[in-house]
A and B are shown apart, each in its own frame.
Chain A
Amino acid sequence: MFNKEKFKQNAPAIPVLIWVGFLVGLPLVFVIILSFLTRDDLGNVVIKFTLSNYKKIFDPTYLKVFFNSFLLATLTGLITLIIGYPVAYFTANLSPKKRSLSIGLIMLPFWISSLLRTYGWIILLGNTGIINNILTKLNIIQSPFNMMYKFSTTLIGTAYMLIPFMIIAIYNSVDKLDKSLLEASYDLGASKRQTFLNITLPLTLPGIAGGFTLVFIPSLGLFFISDLLGGGMTLFLGNVINSQVTKGRNKPLAAAFSIGMIILVLIILYLYGKLTKDKKGEGLF
């Protein structure tokens, strides 16, 4: 039923929806259409329906790329969780003054250029980098230890880049935790370990799920980290899309891969929604 009163109330929202719809919705529809088209030998898009772009995803070479990206994103989520959870938990238990200092230090990297932070790892891990210099000077190793251009180098860089998101998400849920529940648990004779496993951990699960989602999504697309630290030795989705658009001139293929990437994101968002369904007011943002 069309409700005139409600329409009048909602009318101011229309320009907003059109603006974002025009800049996000339309391009996405455009990419979906393009992913079903072909290209000629010169790289021009030809309007001819095909499914071959999607079939290519299941080609072993490209399937590996999807797998690499999925693995990178999942491992980044796990590593940032394992390292970040204690940081968030300890920070929430600090005195107010120390707590704001700690939060400030966690948030500050958001303001530091992401290229600089990636470059910092080259300075640190490179063959002539700081770590190799120190180890050689101390005579622990004779020749430089090769740490660059590996899957793990990309993993370190990505986890380093995104860990503040994880910590802040967990911190917010630890901070909201009802402290009387913990006291009640201790009063009933539960040990620290039991209290943590039975109360703190389940109650901070929405924060963990939120942090995981916030880390997982961007880690799929940060191609500059794998470019600089991974040296293109392991191929990730972001790199393939980027090179297909800028060098390979196969735009339909890049479009199909972008859609594949977005579907990965949707799966994660769906899982996140399922996991936090019965906890109201724990929105991702």
Chain B
Amino acid sequence: MNKTSNRFRTFYLSLFFVILYIPVLGVVLYSFNKSPSTASWTGFTLDWYRDLFNDKVIIESFKISIKVALLTSILSAILGTTTAIISTYVTSKMENVIRGVMILPLLVPEVALGVSLLLFFSTLNLPFGILTLVLSHSLFCMPYVYLMVLLRLKEIDISIIESAKDLGATRWQVIKTILLPLVTPSIITSSLLALAMSLDDVVISTYMSGPTSTTLPVHIFSMMRVGVTPKINALSTLILVGTFFIVGLSQLLNKKSNQ
């Protein structure tokens, strides 16, 4: 590759990443602005953050979001991993059926999925709240766990499993002592991804929230519709820091288990 095209490559990529991150940096920057308007920068303040901790509705919806996200990631980790392991034992035809069924929730646009679940659950008379939120969130989180665990399972050397079987290991023993430990890093990464996706979901949560159980993103969305206030910036910044903490943690855990 010659010099000019090399320079162009660097320029294009840098420009792209600058544009990709400017909107995010803008939000973070203005969370520290004294003026409530973005029209001018009047000085540094942490007042908006203080406001946040005094807002009971935000604290409440945050608690609900965390509860839902934790339950969702546990449920999807269990279901996704089980499905991935099961799919390696069935016939290849059935494996394709399982794959198709698991990917289905990702192929239906979120609005359509949310509306169909809303109509379905309300007919079943399920109370809208944490239960419906966890059920619906696990629906779009579980496929990721399944896919990531499956990817790892396919990399496992078949001969290890064969020799375990030759030595008289039962199917359950093979799963418990060989498969599960080998896929643990994938389970951890994908359930952290599930955690982040559940914490971030707006569309489906709009339909699944109950009268007393609004999730944080649904609440933020309703705040944003009213107008721009630095309080939203401060809240978004805190969420950003929280998510990066989760990402960092997952990277760290991954590195450790790889050693």
Q: Does A173 interact with chain B (Cβ within 8 Å)?
A: no
The answer on a CB contact under 8 Å between B118 and A245 is: yes
Q: How distant is the Cα of A83 from the Cα of B244 in the complex, in angstroms?
A: 26
How many interface residues does chain A have, given as a range? 35 or more
Among the interface residues B20, B87, B99, which one has the most CB atoms of the partner chain A within 10 A?
B20
Known: A120-B24, A265-B107. A242 touches B228 (CB 8 A): no
The answer on a CB contact under 8 Å between A13 and B220 is: no
Q: Does B83 interact with chain A (Cβ within 8 Å)?
A: yes
Known: A111-B247, A261-B111, A269-B107. A13 touches B12 (CB 8 A): no
How many interface residues does chain B have, given as a range? 35 or more
The answer on a CB contact under 8 Å between A83 and B16 is: yes
A residues 206-245 with Cβ under 8 Å of B?
Answer: 217-218, 220-224, 227-228, 237-238, 241-242, 245
Among the interface residues A86, A220, A258, which one has the most CB atoms of the partner chain B within 10 A?
A258
Option from A9, A114, A223 in Cβ contact (under 8 Å) with B91: A9
The answer on a CB contact under 8 Å between B123 and A227 is: no
B residues less than 8 Å from A133 (CB atoms): 38-40
Provide a sorted-by-A list of 10 A–B residue pairs whose CB atoms are within 8 angstroms: A9-B89, A13-B86, A20-B102, A83-B16, A122-B224, A124-B22, A133-B40, A217-B109, A223-B111, A241-B111
Q: How distant is the Cα of A265 from the Cα of B110 in the complex, in angstroms?
A: 12
Chain B contacts to A: CB under 8 angstroms: 1, 9, 12-13, 16-17, 20, 22-24, 26-27, 30, 37-40, 79, 82-83, 86-87, 89-91, 94, 97-99, 101-113, 115-120, 123, 135-136, 139, 147, 196, 199-200, 202-203, 206-207, 217, 220-221, 224-225, 228, 232-233, 236, 239-240, 243-244, 246-247
B residues less than 8 Å from A56 (CB atoms): none
What is the distance, in angstroms, from B37's C-beta to the closest C-beta of chain A?
Answer: 6
A residues less than 8 Å from B40 (CB atoms): 133
Option from B101, B115, B203, B225 in Cβ contact (under 8 Å) with A21: B101
Q: Does A201 interact with chain B (Cβ within 8 Å)?
A: no
Looking at A58-66, A87-95, A183-191, A273-281, the stretch in contact with chain B turns out to be A87-95
A residues less than 8 Å from B239 (CB atoms): 113, 116
What is the distance, in angstroms, from A231's C-beta to the closest C-beta of chain B?
Answer: 10
Q: How distant is the Cα of A100 from the Cα of B225 in the complex, in angstroms?
A: 37
Known: A123-B23, A221-B203. A258 touches B112 (CB 8 A): yes
What is the distance, in angstroms, from B166's C-beta to the closest C-beta of chain A?
Answer: 20
A residues less than 8 Å from B39 (CB atoms): 128, 133
What is the distance, in angstroms, from B155's C-beta to the closest C-beta of chain A?
Answer: 16
Q: How distant is the Cα of A284 from the Cα of B233 in the complex, in angstroms?
A: 36
A residues less than 8 Å from B94 (CB atoms): 9-10, 13
Chain A contacts to B: CB under 8 angstroms: 6, 9-10, 12-13, 16-17, 19-21, 23-24, 26-28, 30-31, 34, 83, 86-87, 90-91, 93-94, 102, 105, 108-109, 111-124, 126, 128-130, 133, 160, 163, 217-218, 220-224, 227-228, 237-238, 241-242, 245-246, 251, 254-255, 258, 261-262, 265, 269, 284-285
The answer on a CB contact under 8 Å between A12 and B89 is: yes
The answer on a CB contact under 8 Å between A113 and B109 is: no
Known: A13-B98, A93-B9, A224-B202. A124 touches B236 (CB 8 A): no
A residues less than 8 Å from B24 (CB atoms): 109, 112, 116-117, 120
The answer on a CB contact under 8 Å between A26 and B120 is: yes
A residues less than 8 Å from B243 (CB atoms): 111-113
The answer on a CB contact under 8 Å between B23 and A16 is: no
Q: A27-B117, A255-B119 are in contact. List 17 more A-B contacts (CB 8 A).
A: A13-B94, A13-B97, A16-B86, A17-B98, A21-B101, A24-B105, A87-B16, A113-B240, A115-B202, A118-B224, A119-B27, A120-B23, A124-B22, A222-B110, A224-B202, A238-B111, A262-B109
The answer on a CB contact under 8 Å between B38 and A129 is: yes
Q: How distant is the Cα of A115 from the Cα of B236 in the complex, in angstroms?
A: 8
Among the interface residues A16, A90, A228, A269, which one has the most CB atoms of the partner chain B within 10 A?
A16
Option from A20, A83, A227, A254 in Cβ contact (under 8 Å) with B115: A254
The answer on a CB contact under 8 Å between A30 and B89 is: no
Among the interface residues A10, A34, A160, A163, which one has the most CB atoms of the partner chain B within 10 A?
A10
